[in-house]
A and B are shown apart, each in its own frame.
Chain A
Amino acid sequence: MTNLFFKPIALAVCLAGIKVGIGAPAIEKLFEQRVKSVVVVEFFVETEVDRRPLIVNGVVLDADGLILLPENSVPGWVPVDKLKEFKVYIPGDSEVFTAEYLGRDRSYSRHFVRVEESLIPHLTPIDEYKIGEPRLGQKIWGIGIAAKDLDFTPFFMRAEVSTVQPLPELIGFATYEIASPGSLVFSDDGDLIGWGSTPLNMERVLTIEGKRYKAYMTIPDQTSTFYTATEWIETIDSLPESPDSNDISFIGTVGLNALNDEVAEHMGLVDQSAISVSEILKDSPAAKAGLQERDIITSLDGEVFRRYVPRRVVVSYLEQQMMKRAIGDVMKLGVLRNGEPVELEVVIGSHPKLARQADRRYFETLGFTIREFVMTDRISLGMPSDDDEEPGVIVNFVKTNSNAYTAGVKSGDLIKEIEGEAVSSFDQVVEKLEALLQVDDRKDFVILVSRGSETSVLRISLD
């Protein structure tokens, strides 16, 4: 994987080294400088009936105003053209700057935006900092970002390093909340230690008037976990060709599960993690390589999986390793099949169209959105994966109390027939519906939808 942004690291390290030798600047000073590497990004997700505002923190990657946002900033189902009005704020300032959405990286689904030029002089890219490795017990500090009505005021946070764990990314845990998610964590010397990750969902026992309740609690805008900078910086991916480009790696395995210890031991696998495969999609790279359902994957490129804690992390590890590789690259998988070891070479393919990339169309008069059927629908609808035909289109949205709603159409329905005629492709359905809507005195029409194991004949009124 290429690393576009951190070529000057060696130089930076050298300079910082001299600084430290002279004596680290006061925290207050450091905070003032470092906060210039954090921005707040606001945008809207537009749906058929409303707009939902989202606010996330991001970090400045380079001198051209490139911003990196965490992987969960944009819900996975949202088509790129539904992301609207990207705006950027400097922490503690209400001035609004514009930004452009550039897409997500192919390995981690982190997102990129670029800010308008006038903002760039106010920002400091993170490649100017020395990278530090978190040590157990080390004092670290981070930048918290307050809510919008507080002008996103930055505030100082402090804690110590509790532990660092491979999950499978190297995640640092602090003794307390240490930064806002998407913001930065530093050492007292000003070294970049980490990038604020997702807040932990902490189990708590609430006692109210003597009654005990089990509760799970998070502080949504503060986190005690961070991606360790040493590894994170190395994994910052290149920009996608376009915001909606589809070059995601794919091998076609469904339902990967980590083996539990007893099962692994039963299969003679000691001191390592292993993965069972539920299903192999037809004609997928995995199928072509000869991977079979119920195979147990034990190694990647000759390296036996380490024993992850918790065990399920091994699945994320394999998936990440796959995502990181370019299309056409080879993955060597060591597999246990009926107790016998088998070596396979899977050539990474490109991912079939995703639901968010599928064609879609909202019909205002009917009150529903239909979208092209994609491969993942086959899995979620429990349909056999070895069928090649397009079985219809998916209802993606139904407006409450619209004609479609009244008729009983539900989001997730698969439309199989319109007016008694089988439909398959998206274009065909659009054409048919448009034609129906153009007939002046038409009162209604009938569709056949499939839902779970049943079908339903539904009459949609055009009144």
Chain B
Amino acid sequence: MKKGAMLVKLANPSTAVTKRKDRTYLIALILLLALSLLFSGCETTANSPRKTQSSFERLLDSVVRIDVRETSFRGGTTRIVAGVGSGVILSQDGIILTNAHVVSPRAVDIWVTLANLERVSARLLGWDHWTDLAAIQLDMEDVEKRGLRFSYASFGNSDDLVPGQTVFAVGTPHGLSRTVTKGIISNTNRYFSDQSGINGYETGYFNTWLQTDAAINPGNSGGPLVNGDGRVIGINTRTYLGAENLGFAIPSKTAEIVLRDLVESGEVERSYIGLVPGVLQDLESYYSLEVNQGLLVNSVDPGSPADQIGLRPSDIVLSINDEEIDGRFPEQIPPIKNFIAHAAIGSELQLEVRRNGSTLPLTVLTERLLSRVGEEWAFEKWGLSVREISRAYARENQLESDNGVVVIGTQSAFPADKAGLRRGDIISKVDNKELKGLDELKELYKGYEEEPTSILMETVRNRRVSFKILKP
């Protein structure tokens, strides 16, 4: 599953389009004319042309272009990077759903271009990289003051989709605002995950994807995939690199739930137990199981709750909280992960486990799910970008602890670079004292800013320890 995911490229917010902006509006106008043509084509398949047209038009008026500038801590300095994506307004109070790789908590400013070409600023309500979704809200005071109008779309039911069904993707490919492309649903239940797909963040573990052949290009990200009635059945997110017409969207069923959580609390809380599932197909007879029963434990994260209660690889989980589970095929894994994730954090899960022919009950206490990506920061005078080491990162890299910080970039000819610090080095000690984490390093940096002196750093890389001196 990782292999597949590696081939998948984010339908990135396209960058460096600012220069083209004026031209883009012109193109957008021309495109509007063209859209009506596309429409008439759609009428032939719809029962009630008038109704379809109006609901589809309403959808078009609810799709927005999103220009984002965000902070980047890469390369040993704090920089502002810009990108363009798409989004869809889903409520009267201006709540917009888009991709997490379009708008993240690092956004400095978010500008939304409405269908009527007016521009309004927006703020982030919350993001969820696991499903690659983010919610933003228009500055409604400004909207009212200026008397701006917009439409909002509504969700369809992604569970009702059938392969072959006609769908449309609407968005801002390569900065071309409100581009509509047409295709069909190619698959309703695609599964892949990506361990570091969203700027290093994990994605795709808790959802399956809709696959479509509607053209999806960079800038389409966050735009809606809609059915003939103009109902949002997915959020366009990714496309295959080097392939044609293989686009992927988050199903509306997932998006609706995530959006609700993001609006209510700014995040999606998930539980974690440290069980890495495998696929049971072809293994049923070996484990003397009936077909369509149980979940294979492929791996147990060291030190995780599942590890602590003695869950072992090659155990079979038959049920969780008396709910029977079935993990025969890869496509069945995300719902099971979701089931575990939706248990309250810190609650007990009762697992019925098959091991060596006998069944035993195990109780596991859930933890909060954390990303492998910790907080990032740049120390500009050192020319050093670092990231807090999360427990997940420490586990993944077989580190003894989550102490220290990991170098994610340096600026050439600055002290960190000259000292020989490189991306991937873990700074474990500063001036012979253990470094706990980022906050401690920020404190030390403050001291350096007041009075620059040489600093001795101990770094670890693949178990090799070396020493480096940062000189002012």
Q: CB within 8 Å of B: which residues of A?
A: 254-255, 257, 259-260, 262-263, 266, 276-279, 293-294, 338, 379, 382, 417, 420, 444-446, 448, 452-457, 459
Q: Which residues of A contact B464 (CB under 8 A)?
A: 255, 257, 278
**Inter-chain contact B467/A263, CB cutoff 8 Å:** yes
| 12 A-B interface contacts by CB (under 8 A) | A257-B464, A263-B469, A279-B463, A294-B458, A417-B314, A444-B286, A446-B286, A448-B313, A452-B396, A456-B298, A456-B313, A457-B313
Q: Would you give the shortest CB distance from A411 to chain B, in whole angstroms? A: 16
Query: Which residues of B lie under 8 Å from residue A456 when comparing CB positions?
Result: 278, 298-299, 313
Chain B residues with CB under 8 A of A382 = 398, 462-463
B463, chain A: closest CB distance, angstroms: 6
Alpha-carbon separation in the docked complex, A315 to B363 (Å): 52
Please, how many angstroms separate the alpha-carbon atoms of A294 and B465 in the complex?
A: 7
Asked if B356 is an interface residue, CB under 8 A from chain A, the answer is: yes
Residues of B within 8 A of A257 (CB): 464-466
State which residues 104-139 of B face A: CB under 8 Å.
none
Contact A263 B463 (CB under 8 A): no
Q: Give every chain A residue within 8 A of B395 (Cβ-Cβ).
A: 453
Of B299, B302, B468, which one neighbours A260 at CB under 8 angstroms?
B468
Contact B456 A454 (CB under 8 A): no
Residues in B284-322 with C-beta less than 8 Å from chain A? 286, 296-302, 313-314
Q: Nearest-CB distance from B337 to chain A (Å)?
A: 16
B316 closest partner in A (C-beta): A457
Pairwise interchain contact B286-A266, C-beta atoms closer than 8 A: no
- Decide if A446 touches B283 in the complex (CB within 8 Å): yes
Contact between chains at A457 and B314 (CB < 8 Å): yes
Q: Report B-chain residues with C-beta under 8 Å of the C-beta of A444.
A: 282, 286
- A454:B299 contact, CB within 8 angstroms: yes
**Shortest CB distance A208–B (Å):** 26
Q: Mark B439-472, 1 if CB is under 8 A from A, else 0.
A: 0000000000000001010101011111111010
B49 contacts A by Cβ under 8 Å: no
Q: Is B420 an interface residue (CB 8 A)?
A: yes
User: Is the pair B465, A255 in contact by a Cβ cutoff of 8 Å?
Assistant: yes
- Known contacts A263-B467, A417-B314; A457/B296 CB under 8 A: yes
B184 proximal to A (CB < 8 A): no
Q: Which residues of A contact B458 (CB under 8 A)?
A: 294
Chain B residues, CB < 8 A from A279: 463, 465
User: Nearest 4 pairs between A and B by C-beta?
Assistant: A262-B469, A255-B464, A278-B465, A382-B398
Complex CA distance for A255 and B462, rounded to whole angstroms: 9
Known: A255-B463, A276-B465, A456-B299. A420 touches B314 (CB 8 A): yes
Answer yes or no: B419 CB below 8 A from chain A CBs. Answer: yes
Point out the residues of chain B lying under 8 angstroms from A452, CB to CB.
Answer: 396, 398
Residue of B278, B296, B299, B398 contacting most chain A CB atoms (<10 Å): B299
Would you call A262 and B419 a contact (CB within 8 A)? yes
Does B397 touch A at the CB level, under 8 Å? yes
CB distance from B159 to the nearest CB of A (A): 31
B466 touches A276 (CB 8 A): yes
Asked whether A260 and B283 contact (CB < 8 A) given A266-B456, A453-B302, the answer is: no
Asked whether, in the complex, the Cβ of B456 is within 8 Å of the Cβ of A263, the reply is yes
Asked if B467 and A259 make an inter-chain contact with CB atoms under 8 angstroms apart, the answer reads: yes
Contact of B299 among A262, A445, A455 (CB under 8 A): A455
**Interface readout for B388-404 with A: 1 if CB under 8 Å, 0 if not?**
00000001111000000
By beta carbon, the residue of chain B nearest A449 is B313
Closest A residue by C-beta to B356: A420
Q: Are A262 and B314 in contact (CB under 8 A)?
A: no
Q: Give Cα distance in the complex from A379 to B313, angstroms.
A: 23
Q: What A residues does B6 contact at CB under 8 A?
A: none
Interface on chain A toward B: helix, strand, loop, or mixed SS?
Answer: strand
CB distance from A384 to the nearest CB of B (A): 9
The CA-CA distance from A290 to B419 in the complex, in Å, is 30
**Known: A266-B454, A417-B314. Is A457-B465 also a contact (CB below 8 A)?**
no
Q: Is B362 an interface residue when CB atoms closer than 8 A count as contact? A: no
Q: Are A457 and B454 in contact (CB under 8 A)?
A: no
* Alpha-carbon separation in the docked complex, A7 to B180 (Å): 88
Contacts of B313 in A (CB 8 A): 417, 448, 455-457
Is B161 part of the binding interface, using a Cβ–Cβ cutoff of 8 Å?
Answer: no
Residues of chain A lying within 8 A (CB to CB) of residue B282: 444, 459
Cα–Cα distance between A446 and B468 once the two chains are bound (Å): 47
CA distance A456 to B313 in the complex (A): 7
Judge whether B263 is part of the interface by a CB distance below 8 angstroms.
Answer: no
- B139-151 to A contact mask, C-beta < 8 Å, 1/0: 0000000000000
> Which A residues are in CB contact (< 8 Å) with B432?
338
Given known A263-B456, A446-B286, contact A276–B396 (CB-CB < 8 A): no
CA distance A455 to B398 in the complex (A): 13
Cα distance A321–B291 when bound, in Å?
63
- With A453-B395, A457-B314 known to touch, is A276 a contact of B298 (CB < 8 Å)? no
Give the distance in Å from the alpha carbon of A257 to the alpha carbon of B420 in the complex: 13
Inter-chain contacts of B296 with A (CB < 8 A): 457
B residues 213-268 in Cβ contact with A at 8 Å: none
Complexed CA–CA distance, A133 and B471 (Å): 43
Contacts of A445 in B (CB 8 A): 286
Chain A hits for B301, CB < 8 A = 453
Contact of B467 among A254, A276, A293, A446 (CB under 8 A): A276
| Complexed CA–CA distance, A276 and B458 (Å) | 11
- The reply to whether the CB of B276 lies closer than 8 angstroms to some CB of chain A is yes
Q: With A and B bound together, what is the CA distance between A255 and B465 in angstroms?
A: 7
A379 and B463 alpha carbons, distance in the complex (Å): 9
B463/A254 in contact, CB under 8 A: yes
Contact, CB under 8 Å: A457 / B463:
no
> Which residues of chain B are near A454, meaning CB under 8 Å?
276, 298-299
A441 to chain B, nearest CB (A): 13
Q: Which residues of A contact B419 (CB under 8 A)?
A: 262
A459–B286 alpha-carbon span in the complex (Å): 9
A277 neighbours in B (Cβ, 8 Å): 465
Closest residue of A by beta carbon distance from B470: A262
Of B278, B298, B465, B468, the residue contacting A293 (CB under 8 A) is B465
Contacts of B297 in A (CB 8 A): 457
18 new A-B contacts at CB < 8 Å, known A255-B464, A262-B471:
A257-B464, A263-B468, A266-B454, A276-B465, A276-B467, A277-B465, A278-B460, A279-B465, A293-B465, A294-B465, A338-B432, A444-B286, A448-B314, A453-B302, A454-B298, A456-B298, A457-B298, A459-B286
How far apart are the CA atoms of A455 and B297 in the complex, in Å?
Answer: 9
- Bound Cα distance A294, B396 (Å): 25
**Nearest B residue (CB) for A457:** B314
Residues of A within 8 A of B314 (CB): 417, 420, 446, 448, 457
Most buried by A among B301, B356, B467, B471: B467
| Minimum distance in angstroms from A282 CB to a CB of chain B | 14
A455 touches B298 (CB 8 A): yes
Docked complex Cα distance between A278 and B396 (Å): 21
A417 to chain B, nearest CB (A): 7
Q: Which residue of B lies closest to A446 (CB)?
A: B286
- Which residues from chain B contact A262 at a C-beta distance below 8 Å? 419, 454, 468-469, 471
* Min distance, Cβ A166 to any Cβ of chain B, angstroms: 23
Bound-state CA distance A128–B356 (Å) is 73
A459 to B299: give the CA distance in the assembly, Å: 15
Q: How far is the CB of A269 from chain B (nearest CB, A)?
A: 11
Shortest distance from the beta carbon of B315 to any chain A beta carbon, whole Å: 9
A263 to B466, CA, bound (A): 10
In the complex, chain B residues whose CB is within 8 Å of the CB of A259: 467
